[in-house]
Amino acid sequence: MTSPYDEQIEDLLQQYRAQREEAAETRRRINEISGTATAPRQVVKVTVGAQGEVTALEFPTGAYRRLPPKELADVLMTTIQQARADALTRVGDLMSAQLPPGVSMDGLLRGEVDATQMLPEAPAMPESVREYVDKGRPERG
């Protein structure tokens, strides 16, 4: 026998499933993001993934051959940092639409935002379902 709450509970489960699917799609899109930076004079071109891992390193010209090792290392490090910043910006752009108003991806990543404040104290649900969850089935007279 079904209760009047079964339909509402099923609706909540459908909302939950949709949110999980959306989260999986967002994760897939994040994994496709990359950032690229090219050093001045095209000494080096770096591509990184969304997590900042270097996925490609190119030397478009022979300019790197004229650099002392320390300078080449500095150029590489700077270019990698620029590529990571580019990837991070792209992730932030993707995620910004899904964050609550006033919360930035940058602030989250720097630890300036308490992530628990982004979630409600109690899950959203119709009042009748909340009563059912809190008090159990209503007594029948």
Domain boundaries, the chain: 28-133
Length of the chain in residues, anyone? 141
Max CA pair span of the chain: 91
Please give the model's pTM, rounded to 2 decimal places.
0.71
What is the per-residue pLDDT for 64?
Answer: 93
How is the chain classified by DSSP, letter by letter? ---THHHHHHHHHHHHHHHHHHHHHHHHHHHH-EEEEE-GGGS-EEEEETTS-EEEEE--SGGGGGS-HHHHHHHHHHHHHHHHHHHHHHHHHHHHTTSPTT--HHHHHTT-S-GGGGS-SS----HHHHHHHHH-SPPP-
What band does 116 get if pLDDT is binned at 50, 70 and 90?
confident
Tokens 């990184």 belong to residue = 48
What is the per-residue pLDDT across 43-93, written as a single tens digit (0 to 9) for each?
999 999 999 999 999 999 999 999 999 999 999 999 999 999 999 999 988
* Residue 83 vs residue 100, higher pLDDT: 83
What is the per-residue pLDDT for 138?
Answer: 61
Q: Six-digit token pair at 29?
A: 């899109």
In the predicted model, is pLDDT for residue 19 greater than 90?
Answer: no
Percentage of the residues of the chain whose pLDDT score is greater than 70: 94
What is the per-residue pLDDT for 53?
Answer: 95
Mean pLDDT of the region 100-124 = 77
What is the per-residue pLDDT for 136?
Answer: 73
In the predicted model, is pLDDT for residue 21 greater than 70?
Answer: yes
| Domain spanning 28-133, CATH class | alpha beta
Residue 140 region by backbone torsions, left for phi larger than 0, else alpha for psi between -120 and 50, else beta: beta
